[in-house]
Amino acid sequence: MSRFLRFASFRNSLAVRVISSTVLLSILILWPTGSALYNQLSRGISNVTLDSSVVETRYAVLNAQYRLLLAQRADVDVIHQIIEEVFINSSTVLGTSVNGREVILLLTNAESSAAASFEKTSNGILKTSIPSELRTRVQGSGAVEWARSWIQYPGGDLTPAVVAGAKLDIPGIGKFEMYMLYSLDNQNETLKIVREALLVTGLVLLLLLGLITWLVVRQVVHPVKTAAKIAEQFAAGDYNQRMYVESKDEISRLGISFNEMAESLQAQMGKFERLSQVQQRFVSDVSHELRTPLTTLRMAAEVIHDVKEDLDPNIERSSELLIAQLDRFERLLEDLLEVSRFDADVAVLESIQFDLASLLRESIKDLAPVAKKQEVEVILLGADKPVLITGDARRIERILRNLINNAIAHADSKPVKVSLLYSLEDVAIGVRDYGLGLDEASAPRVFDRFWRADPSRARTRGGTGLGLSIALEDARLHNGELQVWGRPAQGSHFILTLPRVAGDLISDYLIPVEPKDSPPTSL
């Protein structure tokens, strides 16, 4: 039963839909069929009752008439005696039978003064039980006439009945009508039983239909559900998942197709994985290999640089350019090696407890010459008190330097605002500049490797195009987040949020991405 409930509680499921529509359609078919059957039965029972009532009445009236004819010219008391016997034979004694049958004798035309005393009803029922319309018909007809009416008992009780009557002649006394009233109580009782039986049968049938549909649907839904689960696991990255194929029906064909698709996808994924590993290795190997010749080159360049005063001004200038480009080359190699460490999943956190506020002050101090050169004022807010956090100080410093350095480079000689906010669980650093800014489409792309808003400008500036992608990886290694906001000519806003202890979850983003000092976005 609980399995059924679990099955049925699955809202909007195929099973629930099929079962409910089957039950609904069954009701739509069973209800009119049952009603038609009931109507036919009740009509049949009613007709049988009617026919037998008419026949019985005809026999009773003929019998009475015959006996009265035989007793012609007899004493009034004898005739009373005959009528009494007719009544006893034709009616049931009150309270002895469920199927009450009553007799009424009504005077039509008196021929003697004693006629009125012959009007009679069995068991004291009221004469008004005979509808006047029926009386008119009986008086004008030679046959038995009938109508539906009620037997009215003296106490006020009413019983539905069929009333049938015919003319009765009491020679020398007068013309009468004799009516027999047949209670329909029995018939109604039978119909009630039929009605109840039909209802119970209908309900049991509905239940059985629902149950059968459930069993049938289960056979289809169960494998579909299993297939969906396997497909979900496959989509989640478990490429070893396969469907179990045991027969040759449509579901199994689906399973075979799925397995073929899974097979080919797994092969493709394997190929990509190998390719990506080869690429990673290649980048890492090339970077390593380039280090040695680069060191030699640097040494040679420095030798030339050291004696630059003795050289031709053109050569002097070239040696300076050479040193600058070698610096840049070295940085690029370092970044490439760092990126390949992230790709190979070998980047590790070396967590220690340190004061983030002083790290921030140090970073800004180190970048002061760059800021001075660019004529950019760097304003630090919220770093007056120590803010102890646990994390990899080298990586966090690298993130901060990158953000502040970028802000200075793009500040367009306007001030750069660095703010530190902290709670018990989290810390956040916002780096805001009011310079070139970024358009909305470019903002999320700044974390892509080698992506630059303006490649020609960046090349002259000496950036590697890997800084922010490494910063994001560093932040995520701490379970932190790096977010960006930017508008052209309104500046940019980079927010680094970190849990106080590396690896914990961030509970609150303390600095909103959209800076408060920006003009509201137009609607």
Chain residues binding ligand ADP by CB under 6 A are: 402, 406-407, 410, 433, 436-438, 446, 451-454, 458, 463-469, 492
Looking at the Cβ atoms of 181 and 466, the one nearer to ligand ADP is 466
Residues paired with 110 in a beta bridge: 174
Stated length of the chain: 523
Residues paired with 168 in a beta bridge: 176
**Distance (Å, rounded) from C-alpha 484 to C-alpha 49?**
93
Q: Which helix (H) or strand (E) holds 168?
A: strand 158-170
Looking at the Cβ atoms of 336 and 389, the one nearer to ligand ADP is 336
Give me 281's structure tokens: 């290795």
Looking at the Cβ atoms of 462 and 503, the one nearer to ligand ADP is 462
In angstroms, give the least distance from the CB of 285 to ligand ADP.
Answer: 23
Looking at the Cβ atoms of 241 and 490, the one nearer to ligand ADP is 490
**Distance (Å, rounded) from C-alpha 259 to C-alpha 226?**
13
**CA dist list (Å): 392 to 74, 350, 397:** 136, 5, 9
**Distance (Å, rounded) from C-alpha 473 to C-alpha 395?**
10
**CB-nearest residue to ligand ADP:** 463
In angstroms, give the least distance from the CB of 446 to ligand ADP.
Answer: 4
**Distance (Å, rounded) from C-alpha 233 to C-alpha 241?**
7
Looking at the Cβ atoms of 467 and 480, the one nearer to ligand ADP is 467
**Distance (Å, rounded) from C-alpha 221 to C-alpha 209?**
18
In angstroms, give the least distance from the CB of 461 to ligand ADP.
Answer: 7
In angstroms, give the least distance from the CB of 344 to ligand ADP.
Answer: 20
In angstroms, give the least distance from the CB of 292 to ligand ADP.
Answer: 25
In angstroms, give the least distance from the CB of 403 to ligand ADP.
Answer: 8
In angstroms, give the least distance from the CB of 485 to ligand ADP.
Answer: 10
Looking at the Cβ atoms of 432 and 500, the one nearer to ligand ADP is 432
Nearest-CA neighbor of 510 among 416, 384, 423? Answer: 423
Looking at the Cβ atoms of 130 and 446, the one nearer to ligand ADP is 446
Nearest-CA neighbor of 497 among 515, 518, 474, 517? Answer: 474
Strands across the sheet containing 426-433: 378-381, 416-422, 426-433, 491-499, 481-487
Q: Which three-class secondary structure state does DSSP give residue 429? A: strand
